[in-house]
Structure 1
């Protein structure tokens, strides 16, 4: 039994998701959280992902939002038609290793499959080693060289991919 609920996020959840991101960034030297400069979508997070054809979910615990994950069609030029990307994967430190990220991922995966996505993609900071292990346990594999983000944190990111066999056939009907 879990002590949290996965629910669609609303625009009002932007502050709670911002707090998750800021806390996660504080765990790594050199990670800078500047909401206004680099995360303006948090001001209307659900509307932002809805406008991109996606969705965002939060894990709600007794004390508030303890996790987040978003899904939208990818904008990567080399992505297969219908491919989707995962964003905003953050779990409060005290809530880690309790199945929160796994439950959020299951929700996003179900939505991607329902949309007929042939592949899931994501980009993750090269410093986030625990996240890399989680993604690999979920079946993702690292793809290609790291890219530089040219942001305040001087971030380099790894790409990860997860093929969704049969999804393209489902989408085409």
Structure 2
């Protein structure tokens, strides 16, 4: 990912969240999501690569960004562990089912395995059945860990998934 990709990545992320999280988080929160604000946050945190965060994009044949993934060390509170974490994976909603997510996830898994991480972990909303099926088809299994975060006074439960990485 390049700094110039931030605006397009933010558009994909915002529309992806609005689509995937409908009915799972308060609608006013989703309606208030703003691509320009998200892009500004992306640009401000782009330098986090120094902390081990890797941002990947997928492009179509015309060079247009159609998906984004971010991964890095697993965060256990403030601690970083030996495991890797998939922080985000979003695909242009018009490209669902076209293999973009599978390609991004495959590259993140490959890179994290090559870096020596024993496992990759990720968090997914408990009610996001589409994402859960996608990760399960990609070799991830729910490992029993669950936690919630709050959005506008509503608890939103997440489930943690894990998968061993090739060494």
Same fold (TM over 0.5): yes
Query: Counterparts of 2:162 and 2:155 in 1: how far apart (Å)?
Result: 23
RMSD: 2.7
Distance 1:103 1:37 in 2: 28
Counterpart residue number, 1:134: 134
The residue that corresponds to 2:116 in the other structure is 116
Q: Structure 1 length normalisation: TM-score?
A: 0.77
Pair 1:35–1:16, CA change in 2 (3 A): closer
The residue aligned with 1:68 is 68
Distance 1:108 1:13, change over 3 A: same
Q: Is the 8 A contact 1:18 1:42 kept in 2?
A: yes
Deviation per CA, 1:37-82, whole angstroms, max 9, x where unpaired?
888741245422x1321311111123722111111011126x9942
Matched, 1:25 2:17: yes
Residues 3-29 of structure 1 show CA distances to partners (whole Å, capped at 9, x for unaligned) of xxxxxx122222212111211222213
Give secondary structure in 1 for the equivalent of 2:82. coil
- Which residue number corresponds to residue 54 of structure 1? 53
Pair 1:163–1:47, CA change in 2 (3 A): same
Q: Which consecutive residues of structure 2, in runs of 5 or more, have no partner in the other structure? A: none
Residues 20, 92 of structure 1: 8 Å contact kept? yes
Distance 2:34 2:151 in 1: 10
Partner residue of 1:4?
none
Between the aligned partners of 2:162 and 2:52, the Cα distance in structure 1 is 20
Kindly tell me the number of residue pairs found equivalent between the two proteins. 156
Unpaired stretches in structure 1, ≥5 consecutive residues: 1-8, 168-173
Q: Map 1:1-173; keep pairs closer than 5 Å.
A: 9-27=1-19, 28-29=22-23, 30=26, 32=30, 33=33, 41-48=41-48, 50-61=49-60, 62=62, 64-76=64-76, 81-152=81-152, 154-164=155-165, 167=167
> What is the TM-score normalised by the length of structure 2?
0.80
Contact 2:57 2:65 (C-alpha < 8 Å) held by counterparts: yes
